[in-house]
Amino acid sequence: MQNPLSFCNAHRAPLSHPGWQLAPGLLIALAIITLTATGVGALMWQAPALNPAELWHSRYLRNVVSFTVWQALLSVLISTLLAIPVARALARQPRFPGRGLLLRLMELSLVMPTIVVVSGLVNVYGRQGWLTGVVSDVIPALTWNLYGLNGIVLAHVFFNAPLIARILLQALEAIPQSQKRLASQMGLRGFMLWRVLDWPAMKPVLPGLLALVFTLCFTSFAIVMTLGGGPGATTLEVAIYQALRFEFDFGHAALLALVQLSICGGLWWLVMRLGEPTKVLSERRFSQPPPRRDNRGRARFCDAALILVFAVFLLLPLLAIVARGYPGLATLPMLDPQTPLFQATVKSLAIAVPAGLLAVVATMAIVAAGQFPKAKMVTHSAGYLPLIVPPLVLGTGLFLLFRPSLGAAGQGMLLVALINAMMALPFILQLVRGPLASLDQPSRQQADQLGILGWYRWRWLHWPRLKRPLALALAYGVGLSLGDFGVIALFGSPGAPTLPVLLYQQLGSYQLVAAAATGLWLILLLLMIFSLAHVLTRAARFRPFARPKNVSVMDIRHA
Amino acid sequence: MTYSLLQRIVQNSQTALLPAKTRTVLGLFILIFTSLSSATENPELTVYTHPSFAAEWGPGPAVKTAFEQRCDCQLNYVVLDSGGDILQRLRLEGASSSADLVLGLDTGTMELARSTGLLAPHNVNLDALDLPILWQDPLFVPYDWGHFAFVYDTEQLPNPPKSLAELIAAPDDLKIIIQDPRTSTPGLGLLLWMRHVYGDDAGAKWEQLQKKILTTTKSWSDGYFSLFMNGEAPMILSYSTSPAYHMAIDKTERYQAAAFSEGHYLQVEVAAVVASSPHQALAREFLGFMLSVDFQRHIPLKNVMYPAIDLGAELPDVFNRLIQPSRTLFFDPAEVAQHRREWVDEWLEAMTR
């Protein structure tokens, strides 16, 4: 018979059996690997004959591969060089008006629909762009052409520099208070502060982050084509799309996917070999960080200038999007459930919210399983596969697997949510792995001795540390799914369109004003989601009788 | 049934002034229920199509209503990204496909679709067709057509080139936006257009044209929305019918198509019956209906293409103000299928030299 007091018995805490930590995550990871293998395998199986030799004999393909790598490297380099000073400046200046909004916009950049952003960028930097106009009036000698490598890199920096800066900022903010105080008392500034404080905080985060951004740029598609200027600017993903959609050459597509898999996969393997878990996020312990010695006087002025330039860089295209979308949005009856925009919003959320939740739960399971050394390789690879394997290949594989049961529309929606969740995994993994690993070894051991295991461990030790990263992760999961067009287009959408599908329908039917409005609305919705995630998990105001925010092992023992 | 009950609750709740939030949540439930429940008494006809056809303002909804009134059946659309995706989906599903009809293939994807062997003959009387070419295909029934053309901004470019030759010989500061033949239908259209006019010299001509190409976008939408409407280039590859939409709906004469003296390349959009469909007769009935006025009257302004039959006085006035190509250029779809890869490679070679 069940002992009613068994919850007190630490050894029988719910979910405390190691299997509960290992099995779900391992199963999910294996499922992802199986799906990917099926996708690629199915394509190869449908192909008449594979000829790997054609890959390196074709001048075109060699050019495609080298261009893909080159533009991705350049994008990563410039994004990082911009992001590091911005992150430091933001860390030095923890308080100024609009900082919160700037951070939300930085979080947003990754999930914005590309076609809308490209339109905004063109409006500012294009041939008729107004910044181009202003600059050529002031300095006539300066000639700038958006179309070509310039434009590709500019757009990639716009999407990725804010992401890098945002995550680096969190690494900087997670520097232990004791270290900050010591550095402050020693009067460290400038290069010394960088060497002692900032660089050690950024170093463990950077490899994973750069690999993530490299992969994003490597697999970039529409941006590269729109701003690339011609077919000379082609990424492997374009070649895969061409082979799959237009030539139905499945074998060729599978081969190209394998090339992509080996380049990006090799990079991730290298990053994993570098070992240290990417500490991407950590909680802040005090609301009043000790002051840094380098945030006053001239340094403050320089920081302000840098942050201003960065904010303008982010805001200008967004303003262009607002200016273009506002006329259409203002005339829409927003709360009328009959408008396509309203219905699309409901449908999008019906897919995106479950997808986001699913992604977060799956990530937690994978991270939990990843704590077991033997499972590590499997869970790590599974976490990044969805980013490297072209969605088209993945989708085709899934389709072949699920085909017999694809009848009802509801299942289609479920499948879309499932794939969206899978696509969000790599990002969420980056956000969650750090804080989970931030639980130091002594605390772990003490928790083990005290039998704080299973559910209690998650509830009392991990949850306070994970609450904020998880909220942000959920926002990313929902946001990525909300902006997704590829997967839903692949499986077909029964009934009302989702927001991105609506946007493309409007574009395809010349409804350019309505399309601009939909694009703006999508961005506003994303902004609301990120703000909500932030507000809901903001450090609560002082409540004298409330439970302490960060419960340590000691607290539990005394409780 | 639970679903209708829920629906009634929501309808009542709107009058009963429930808080908007509750209504949204209820609406969400309804949505999930609708998509899960699939029990109906009438036969269901499933049509694979692309977004611009099925969109709320596209011809899809009106066509659905009109056909359901006469067929005692239910017409469902499954919306896929493009004609290429419709074909891909069909191939993957093979004989177990849930599609009864495919609608939205075109002269570029038709031959690949034929080679799958998954489509059935239509047996439809094609006498009513009014196309610039003779059409006798046993599998595919056209539902609309259009000529590819360069659309230009009259404010930026008062005197557009009058021929492909003039465009190619124009000074390099005349910028045009085209689409990539590897990923886009109009993009392939221009490739075939050049090939039709210049034959084996097409490669050399592309090399000359290359300096005038601002960029080559993935899809028509990318170029039209992000670049052309932002004034980035005065000319974009599109359809001769594009100005009809701007004139009729946007009420502006600003965007016009340039008539080229060599003639314009033709695109025909088609539909076909899926051989594995259990509703063969009904599917054929739909194809017949497709060539009736009740279907075709929605084509001109909702699909912004020419109707496949003569609509007479029902053709909107703006369509009489469009350019009339002196010659229609067209390759047999089988020939395109045969040479497609070779011609795309020739284009790539010329453009990346």
Per-residue pLDDT tens over the stretch B79-101: 887 777 888 888 878 888 889 99
Q: Which residue has the tokens 């993945």?
A: A394
Kindly tell me if the per-residue pLDDT of A153 is higher than 70.
Answer: yes
In this predicted model, which residue has the larger pLDDT, A154 or A22?
A: A154
C-alpha span between A98 and B308 (Å, rounded): 57
Q: Decide if A350 touches B, using CB distance below 8 A.
A: yes
Quote the Cα angle for B341-B342-B346, to 5°: 115
pLDDT value, residue A13: 65
Query: Which residue in A505, A520, A525, A532 has the most chain B C-beta atoms within 10 A of its own C-beta, making it the best mutation to test that interface?
Result: A505
Distance of alpha carbon A219 from alpha carbon A156, whole angstroms = 11
Q: DSSP alpha helices (H): ranges in A229-296?
A: 236-241, 250-273
Closest CA to B188 of B200, B202, B201, B178: B178
Q: Output A70 or A288, whichever has higher pLDDT.
A: A70
Count CB neighbours of B170 within 10 A. 18
- Please list every residue in chain A whose beta carbon sits closer than 8 Å to the beta carbon of residue B215: 147, 225-230
Give me the residue label for tokens 């901004």.
B153
DSSP H stretches of helix in A389-498: 391-402, 409-437, 441-450, 454-456, 463-482, 486-491
> Cα–Cα distances in Å, from A220 out to A75, A223, A224, B34, B46?
11, 7, 6, 36, 34
Ramachandran bin of B205, using left for φ above 0, alpha for ψ from -120 to 50, beta for the remaining angles: alpha
Residue A288's CB is within 10 A of a number of other CB atoms, namely 7
pLDDT tens for B3-40 read 444 444 444 444 344 444 444 444 444 444 444 444 44
In which band, very low, low, confident or very high, does the pLDDT at A400 lie, cut at 50, 70 and 90? low
| Confidence tier at A296 by pLDDT (50, 70, 90) | low
Band of the pLDDT at A280, cuts 50, 70, 90?
very low
Percent of chain A with pLDDT over 70: 78
Which H or E element spans position B115? helix B110-115
pLDDT in tens, A4-54: 444 444 456 666 677 777 788 888 888 888 878 877 777 777 666 666 776
A347, A350, A353, A359 alpha-carbon torsion, rounded to 10°: -100
Q: Rounded distance, CA A425 to CA A360, Å? A: 8
Work out the number of other CB atoms within 10 angstroms of the CB of residue A184: 18
A46 to chain B: nearest residue by CA?
B92
Query: How sure is the predictor about A500, in pLDDT bands with cuts at 50, 70 and 90?
Result: confident
Residue A185: pLDDT over 70: yes
In angstroms, what separates the C-alpha of A534 from chain B's closest C-alpha? 21
Question: Is residue A2's pLDDT more than 50?
Answer: no
pLDDT tens-place string over residues B281-299? 999 999 999 999 999 999 9
**DSSP assignment, residue B251?**
-
Complex confidence, ipTM: 0.79
Those residues with Cβ within 8 angstroms of residue A207's Cβ, 6 or more apart along the chain or in another chain: A271, A274, A278
pLDDT at A262 over 90: no
Task: Work out the percent of chain A whose per-residue pLDDT is above 90.
Answer: 20
Token pair, residue B47, equals 């049509």
Q: What are B36's two structure tokens? A: 């899960």
Query: Of A249, A399, A241, whose CA–CA distance to B93 is shortest?
Result: A399
- How far apart are the C-alpha atoms of B41 and A401, rounded to whole Å? 30
Q: Would you call A222 and B112 a contact, using CB atoms and an 8 Å cutoff? A: no
Q: What integer pLDDT is reported at residue A444 of this predicted model?
A: 66
Task: Give the type of residue at A178.
Answer: S
Under DSSP, the state recorded for A206 is H
Is residue B145 helix, strand or coil?
A: strand
A238 has a chain B CB within 8 A of its CB: yes
**Residues A60, B82: C-beta atoms closer than 8 Å:** no
| Token pair belonging to B254 | 């600003």
Residues 479 to 518 of A: which have CB under 8 A from any B CB? 489-490, 492-497, 501, 504-512, 515-516
| pLDDT number for residue B164 | 95
- Put simply, the answer to whether B36 touches A222 (Cβ < 8 Å) is no
Query: Mind listing the pLDDT tens digit for each residue in B115-151?
Result: 989 999 999 999 999 999 999 999 999 999 999 999 9
Spell out the alpha helix ranges (H) of B157-211.
164-169, 185-198, 202-210
Confidence of residue B269 (pLDDT cuts 50, 70, 90): very high
CATH code of B147-265+327-351, in short, is 3.40.190.10
The per-residue pLDDT for range A443-469, each reduced to its tens digit, is 667 777 777 767 777 777 777 777 777
- Read off the amino acid at residue A528: M
Q: Is residue A167 within 8 Å of residue A433, measured between CB atoms?
A: no
Residue identified by tokens 């694979």 is B48
**pTM for the structure as a whole:** 0.83
Say if A319 is an interface residue toward chain B (CB within 8 Å): no
CA atoms of A121 and A473, how far apart (whole Å): 27
CATH superfamily of B44-145+267-321: Periplasmic binding protein-like II (3.40.190.10)
The pLDDT confidence band at residue A292, using thresholds 50, 70 and 90, is: low
| pLDDT, average across residues A519-541 | 85
Token pair of A222 as six digits:
């529409």
Tell which of A149, A227, A246 to mutate to test the B interface (max B CBs under 10 Å): A246
Q: Which residues contact B199 (CB under 8 A, 6 or more apart)?
A: none
From the centroid of its chain, how far is CA A33? 20
Indicate the pLDDT class of residue B248, thresholds 50, 70 and 90: very high
CA distance linking residue A106 with residue A531, whole number of Å: 12
Please tell me if residue B352 touches chain A, with a CB cutoff of 8 Å: yes
List, as ranges, residues 298-327 from B with C-beta within 8 Å of A: 302, 304
Residue B9 pLDDT:
41
Q: How many helices (H) and strands (E) does chain A have?
A: 26, 0
CA–CA gap between residue A466 and residue A443 (Å, rounded): 16
**Could you tell me if B247 and B316 are in contact, meaning their C-beta atoms sit under 8 angstroms apart?**
no
Mean pLDDT of B172-187: 91
CA angle A505, A510, A514 (to 5 degrees): 70
Asked if residue A234 has pLDDT above 90, the reply is: no
Is some CB atom of chain A closer than 8 A to the CB atom of B207? Answer: no
Q: Compare CB distances from A490 to B81, B112, B348 and report the shortest one's residue.
A: B81
**Terminal CA-CA length for chain A:** 29
What single-letter DSSP state applies at residue B161?
-
pLDDT at A245: 73
Q: Quick check: B273 pLDDT over 70?
A: yes
Contacts of B180 (CB under 8 A, 6+ apart): A225, A231, A238, B187, B216, B217, B218
**What distance in Å separates residue A125's CA from the closest CA in chain B?**
10
Minimum distance, in Å, between the CA of residue A228 and any CA atom of chain B:
7
| Cβ neighbours of A232 in B, within 8 Å | 351-352
Express each pLDDT in A59-114 by its tens digit: 778 888 999 999 999 999 999 999 999 999 998 888 889 999 999 999 888 888 88
Q: What is the DSSP string of A434-458?
A: HHHHTS-HHHHHHHHHHT--HHHII
Contact A469, A431 (CB under 8 A): yes
Considering only residues A334 and A119, tell me which one the structure prediction assigns the higher pLDDT. Answer: A119
CA distance B94 to B154: 48
Angle at which helices A206-218 and A149-173 cross, to 10°: 150
Confidence of residue A295 (pLDDT cuts 50, 70, 90): low
Distance CA A270, CA B130 (A): 62
Asked if A410 is an interface residue toward chain B (Cβ–Cβ < 8 A), one would say yes
Q: Give me the pLDDT at residue A238, please.
A: 84
Scanning every residue of chain A, which has its alpha carbon at the shortest distance from the alpha carbon of B115? Answer: A248
Phi-psi region of B123 (alpha: psi -120 to 50; beta: other; left: phi over 0): left
Mean pLDDT, range B325-353, rounded to an integer: 91
Per-residue buried b or exposed e for B107-135, using 16+ beta carbons within 10 Å of the residue's own CB: bbbbbbbbeeebbbebebebeebebbeeb
Helix residue spans in A174-205 (DSSP H): 177-185, 190-193, 199-202
On the question of pLDDT at A57 being above 50, the answer is yes
Contact B182 A242 (CB under 8 A): yes
* Residues of chain B positioned with their CB less than 8 A from the CB of A501: 51, 79
Tokens of A134: 């202003």
How do strand B141-153 and strand B235-239 relate by DSSP bridges? antiparallel
- pLDDT at residue B293, rounded to an integer: 95
Residues of A in contact with B31 (CB under 8 A): 346-347, 350, 496
Confidence at residue A25, expressed as pLDDT on a 0 to 100 scale? 81
A145 touches chain B (CB under 8 A): no
Residues with Cβ within 8 Å of residue B30, at least 6 apart in sequence: B3, B6, B7, B10
CA Rg value for chain A: 24
C-alpha triplet A451, A457, A459: angle, nearest 5° = 140
Mean model confidence pLDDT for chain A: 79
Q: What angle do CA B305, B308, B310 make, to 5 degrees?
A: 105
Place of tokens 């008539």: B259
Check: CB of residue B67 under 8 Å from CB of residue B75: yes
Write the CA distances from B306 to B239, B264, B303, B320, integer angstroms.
11, 14, 9, 11
Question: Among A226, A339, A413, which would you mutate to test the B interface (most chain B Cβ atoms within 10 Å of its Cβ)?
Answer: A226
Does A346 contact B28 at a Cβ distance shorter than 8 Å? Answer: yes
Q: Which chain A residues contact residue B234 at CB under 8 A?
A: none
Is residue A486 predicted with pLDDT exceeding 80? no
Q: Which residues in chain A have their CB less than 8 angstroms from residue B222's CB?
A: 115, 118, 222, 225-226
Closest CA to A418 of A362, A497, A340: A362
Q: Residue B252's Cα: distance from chain center in Å?
A: 23
Least confident of A18-32, A349-363, B337-351: A18-32
- CA distances to A168, A418, B92 from A42, rounded to whole Å, are 40, 20, 10
How many Å from the N-terminal Cα to the C-terminal Cα in chain B? 66
Is B133 strand, coil or helix? coil
Residues of chain B with pLDDT > 70, as a percent, come to: 88
Is the Cβ pair B52, A119 closer than 8 Å?
no
**B265 phi and psi, to 5 degrees?**
-80, 145
**What is the signed CA dihedral for A203, A209, A215, A217, rounded to 10 degrees?**
-100
